């Protein structure tokens, strides 16, 4: 078999068939699909699954196999990063596709921790006081804006896009996401808006363009703040390095996109109490976050160690009780299911296209870590019960219209504007 170890410096690795313990685990999990292990010693492959679908062939060293067998949740990603596990035929996305085509894999990935153990683990992982939050944010978001420019859309939206049609570009889908959220804010001229976790400023700037409103964005990332501040010059959007717990004042509208995943379960009461304290009596808030459908759990240890320390994907059963205790009304909840999976497809493709540049900016191990992260994240939305939710909140029962028509009307108006703009551009091009 020709061994094509793309982007790997591990060509001289001695790949083996998995030892008995690991083979038994794989056999239990992989019932459908085709996953094979290549042995460089014998030149033969050991196959698992029913043979359906494209065959994914991997190579694993003795060291990698031993670590994976002992602690698969952590060691699988580490083995891929280190090259002690390599994809010989297919890629890391197709590997996850085979694994999570099997419901046994999704069940295996869930923790069996008891309630007390779960609470203790989360209390340690998700303390997220002010100092820890700053460190955790810097770990991921202050890597380099140049990195994010290589695979995000042109507005640097680092959260789930909204695909109103299957052939939408990433840029189209991210614009649709922003406008969909703006529709739920019910903007009017003269309002004040707070953006909690503003990122590089794209959402706040879109809000400032949508109406004559003052927008204040807060972030804990110094890199993001620098970019957002520069982009905000000459607009009604301003930005600061501020923890949400330290924001003061009153706001007519509050939005938070892709930040709630960093709050941590122990802090949910404080988060929503702060929203309630900052929101004007007739105000509206919208929280956009990744969620899980299968109830409380803990963060995957590999993700917690390498990607999002302190991060956690919540179940609605954990979020809604905290909202109830805050006294806020839940005026709307929308679940976005496969939109983030499609977003990640675009990110992975763009990352792959710029991979050599990213490797030059960081190194090979970093690239493999991020490939694993992006592919694993896509699999979480396709086969592990992850989704996104958008929760609209208010203090007054009549703060928003009684039906959801206003959201659809806003989306259609945006689509009509975009269609008119594209048609106008086409007419201009035809005259050139």
11 CB-near residues (< 8 Å, 6+ apart): 3, 5
Residue 88 has pLDDT above 80, yes or no: yes
Give the pLDDT confidence of 36-68 residue by residue, as tens digits: 999 998 899 999 999 998 999 999 999 999 999
- Name the token pair of 78: 């580490």
Q: What share of the chain is helix, strand, coil (3-state, %, to 5)?
A: 50, 20, 30
CA-CA distance, 27 to 347, in Å (whole number)? Answer: 32
Residue 185 has pLDDT above 60, yes or no: yes
The 3-state DSSP class for residue 252 equals: strand
Residue 429 has pLDDT above 70, yes or no: no
Selection from 293, 324, 336 nearest residue 393 by Cα = 324
Q: What is the pLDDT of residue 106?
A: 60
Please list the residues that pair with 49 across neighbouring strands: 34
Q: Please, which pLDDT band fits residue 5 given cuts at 50, 70 and 90?
A: very low
Residue 127 has pLDDT above 80, yes or no: no
Give the pLDDT confidence of 285-325 residue by residue, as tens digits: 999 999 999 999 889 999 999 999 989 999 999 999 999 99
Q: Which residue has the higher pLDDT, 12 or 98?
A: 98
CA-CA distance, 59 to 84, in Å (whole number)? Answer: 8
Give the pLDDT confidence of 228-242 residue by residue, as tens digits: 999 999 999 999 999
CA-CA distance, 13 to 202, in Å (whole number)? Answer: 45
Phi then psi dihedrals of residue 397, to 5 deg:
-65, -25
Selection from 303, 299, 298 nearest residue 77 by Cα = 303
Give the pLDDT confidence of 320-374 residue by residue, as tens digits: 999 999 999 999 999 999 999 999 999 999 999 999 999 999 999 999 999 999 9
* Residue 241 host element (H or E): strand 237-241
**Domains of the chain in sequence order:** 20-108 (no CATH), 123-400 (3.40.50.150)
Q: What is the pLDDT of residue 139?
A: 81
CA-CA distance, 296 to 261, in Å (whole number)? Answer: 13
- How far is the CA of 287 from the CAs of 261, 265, 278, in angstroms? 11, 15, 14
pTM: 0.90
Average pLDDT on 188-198 reads 98
Q: What is the pLDDT of residue 8?
A: 42
Residue 397 has pLDDT above 60, yes or no: yes
- Name the token pair of 391: 């929760």
Q: What is the mean pLDDT of the chain?
A: 90
- Cβ atoms of 184 and 257 closer than 8 Å: no
Residue 126 has pLDDT above 80, yes or no: no
Residue 149 has pLDDT above 90, yes or no: yes
């Amino acid at each position: 078999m020709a061994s094509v170890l793309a982007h790997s410096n591990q060509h001289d690795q001695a790949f083996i068939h998995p030892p008995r313990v690991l083979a038994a685990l794989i056999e239990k999990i992989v019932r459908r699909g085709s996953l094979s292990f290549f042995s460089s010693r014998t030149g033969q492959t050991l196959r698992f699954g029913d043979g359906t679908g494209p065959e994914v062939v991997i190579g694993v060293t003795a060291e990698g196999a031993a670590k994976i067998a002992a602690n698969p949740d952590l060691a699988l990603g580490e083995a891929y990063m280190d090259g002690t596990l390599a994809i010989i035929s297919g890629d890391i996305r197709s590997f996850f596709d085979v694994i999570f085509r099997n419901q046994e894999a999704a069940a295996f990935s869930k923790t069996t921790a008891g309630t007390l153990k779960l609470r203790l683990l989360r209390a340690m992982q998700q303390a997220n006081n002010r100092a820890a939050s700053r460190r955790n944010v810097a770990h991921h978001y202050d890597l380099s804006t140049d990195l994010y420019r290589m695979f995000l859309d042109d507005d640097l939206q680092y959260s789930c896009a909204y695909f109103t049609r299957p052939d939408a570009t990433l840029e189209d889908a991210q614009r649709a996401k922003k406008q969909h959220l703006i529709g739920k804010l019910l903007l009017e001229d003269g309002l004040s808006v707070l953006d909690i976790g503003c990122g590089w400023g794209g959402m706040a700037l879109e809000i400032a363009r949508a109406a004559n409103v003052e927008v204040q964005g807060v972030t804990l990332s110094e890199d993001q703040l620098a970019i957002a501040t520069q982009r905000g010059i000459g607009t009604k959007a301003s930005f600061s390095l501020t923890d949400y717990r330290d924001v003061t004042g009153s706001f007519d509208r509050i939005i938070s996109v892709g930040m709630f995943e960093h709050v941590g379960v122990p802090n949910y009461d404080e988060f929503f109490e702060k929203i309630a304290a900052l929101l004007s009596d007739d105000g509206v808030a919208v929280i956009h976050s990744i969620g899980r459908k299968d109830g409380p759990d803990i963060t995957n240890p590999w993700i917690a160690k390498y990607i999002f320390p302190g991060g956690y994907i919540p179940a609605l059963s954990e979020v809604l009780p905290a909202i109830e205790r805050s006294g806020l009304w839940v005026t709307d909840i929308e679940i976005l299911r496969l939109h983030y999976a499609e977003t990640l497809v675009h990110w992975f493709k763009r990352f792959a296209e710029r991979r050599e540049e990213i490797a030059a900016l960081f190194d090979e191990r970093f690239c493999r870590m991020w490939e694993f992260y992006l592919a694993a994240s896509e699999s979480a939305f396709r086969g592990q019960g992850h989704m996104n939710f958008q929760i609209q909140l208010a203090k007054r029962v009549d703060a928003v219209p009684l039906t959801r028509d206003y959201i659809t009307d806003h989306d259609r108006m945006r689509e009509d504007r975009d269609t008119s703009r594209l048609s106008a551009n086409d007419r201009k091009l035809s005259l050139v």
